[in-house]
Structure 1
Amino acid sequence: MATRAYPQFYLNDAQQNLGVMFDYAIRTLQYEGDRFFFYFIQSKVAEKFEHANPKYLAGVSGIELCENVLQKTGEKFAASQNIRIEQGAEFWTGWSLAYYQWYSGLRFSDLQEYGLVPSQILTRYILHEADISKFVEIANKIIQKNKDASPTRLQKYRKAQGMTQAKLAELSGVSLRMIQLYEQRQSDINKASGETITALARALCCNFYEIMEIELDD
């Protein structure tokens, strides 16, 4: 079972805040959902959620969260004086994202990387009538499908560095064959020794987590 992102007693507040944040951003400020989600991650406010910062989980309103995201990313916007929050599709999108991030323990940037973005969630609004476990099931399928169709993170980081497999083997001390197996998903990098993953991460100038594959909890 995945480790939950933070204590459950914060969850209701976190869901409410993200629900209000997305409703305000999309309906009132007229931001496209995926674009605003990108700003949420870019602003580092998403990380505050992931690291269980009480101020961001429960200490400010969803409207304040939204405006904080836009300020941190340098977006110019006119704060509305006529705010009406509705618990419709936009609210449910944020509410569901908050739940799934808490439940899965993944980063919001992981969700974005593998296609669990507002545009995908909005089209599945009918799920608001079902138990949240149904949304988790669908979200897992979206992420797994996109993950399977994507290169491994090890390969992405290696290519981003302009490095061949042979060069990575030379710099890390990990055999060329093992690097090939990890990139082909014939060997699970998550089951490699900490020493191996650390050596690869150092050679690629990234952290331990960045080259590990995400794991989904049923």
Structure 2
Amino acid sequence: MMHAYPETYLNDAMNNLGNMFDYGLVDLHYDPERFYEQFLTSGVAKQFEQGNPKYVAGLSGPELAIEVIYRTEDHRPTQMPSEEIDKSPEYWAGWSLAYYQWYRAHRFSYLQQYGLTIQRILSMYPTLHEADLSKFVTVADEIIAKEKSAQISNLQRMRKNCGMTQKELAEKSGTSLRMVQLYEQRKQDIRKAEAQTLVNLSRVLGCGVEDLFE
């Protein structure tokens, strides 16, 4: 299985993301979903999920939180992080999220889109915080699978937004109709499509290649 970045960074990444959420939610009292949205829009999430050493292992958790806030609010909090012996539920949420993102190699925005929000993870704390991480992976997989089944794929959504039929998209992009159908039904992983196919589809739909991915 291909992971998001080398495993040598994983322990630092988990600890740092856990401490980022602990500092942001506990010390600075940010709303969980607001802070997570800022994490996504700041660009820090993208650096983290790509395994940029500065972000997964270089900056501390509080430094990551400060970077998120600076990029989205243009100021840097000066409050010192609290020192607690026991790890908070907020720490566990970030710690578990970092592991799952690394393990499945999905974007953080994808996890949020399909129901794995910070609030949802926090709700798992009472039953899962002492369990093996494999149990968290199983539960997270189930949440995402259920949410995905209730939502249309990115490819289908963008095609419909462009007012095209599957046949029209296939003809304009040079992709077979059957493959368009399989990608939309998620019976074929669009992330594994040939590079030229992705370029052609994104050109016809007027979007970036990454926008096609789930």
Provide the residue aligned with 1:45 in structure 2.
44
CA shift in 2, pair 1:102/1:177, >3 Å: closer
Instruction: Tell me by how many angstroms 1:142 deviates.
Output: 0.6
6 and 142 in structure 1: CA distance in 2 versus 1, 3 angstrom threshold: same
2:20–2:61 contact (8 Å) kept in structure 1: yes
Amino acid aligned to 1:109: S
Runs of at least 5 residues in structure 1 that lack an aligned partner in the other structure? 214-218
Aligned residues of 2:32 and 2:119 also touching (Cα < 8 A): yes
- The residue that corresponds to 1:22 in the other structure is 21
Letter paired with 1:142: I
**RMSD over equivalenced CA pairs, Å:** 2.3
How far the C-alpha of 1:67 sits from its partner, in A, is 0.7
Partner Cα separation in structure 1 for residue 195 and residue 81 of structure 2: 53
Gaps (5+ residues) in structure 2?
none
| Separation in 2, partners of 1:176, 1:34 | 39
Q: Sequence identity, in percent?
A: 49
After TM superposition, the score normalised by the length of structure 1 is 0.85
- Per-residue deviation at 1:82? 6.1
Give per-residue Cα distances to partners, 1:117-176, cap 9 Å, x unaligned.
Answer: 11100111020111000000000011111111100110122244x332265345323456
The aligned length equals 210
Residue 157 of structure 1 corresponds to 158
Alignment-derived partner of residue 144 in structure 1: 145
Give 2:34's aligned residue.
35
Q: Provide the residue aligned with 2:130 in structure 1.
A: 129
- For 2:101, the equivalent position in structure 1 comes to 101
Asked if 2 retains the 8 angstrom alpha-carbon contact of 1:189 and 1:197, the reply is no
State the Cα distance separating 1:77 from its structure 2 match.
6.7
Distance 1:111 1:82 in 2: 27
TM superposition shift of 1:47 = 0.9
1:45: Cα distance to partner? 0.3
Whole-angstrom distance in 2 between the partners of 1:72 and 1:121: 25
Query: Matched residue of 1:73: which SS?
Result: helix
The answer for the alignment partner of 1:207 in structure 2 is 208
Could you tell me whether the CA contact under 8 Å between 1:23 and 1:91 is conserved in 2? yes
Secondary structure in structure 1 of the residue aligned to 2:129: helix
- Is 1:90–2:90 an aligned residue pair? yes
* Contact 2:67/2:76, CA 8 A, preserved across alignment: no
1:65 and 2:58 aligned: no
- Alpha-carbon separation, structure 2, partners of 1:135 and 1:48: 24
Instruction: After TM superposition, give the deviation of residue 76 of structure 1 in Å.
Output: 5.2
CA distance in 2, matches of 1:77, 1:14: 22
> Partners in 2 of 1:153 and 1:57 — Cα distance?
28
Alignment of 1:7 onto 2:3: no
State the alpha-carbon separation in 2 of the partners of residues 53 and 181 from structure 1: 33
What amino acid is the match of 1:102? W
C-alpha separation between the residues in 1 aligned to 2:94 and 2:135? 16
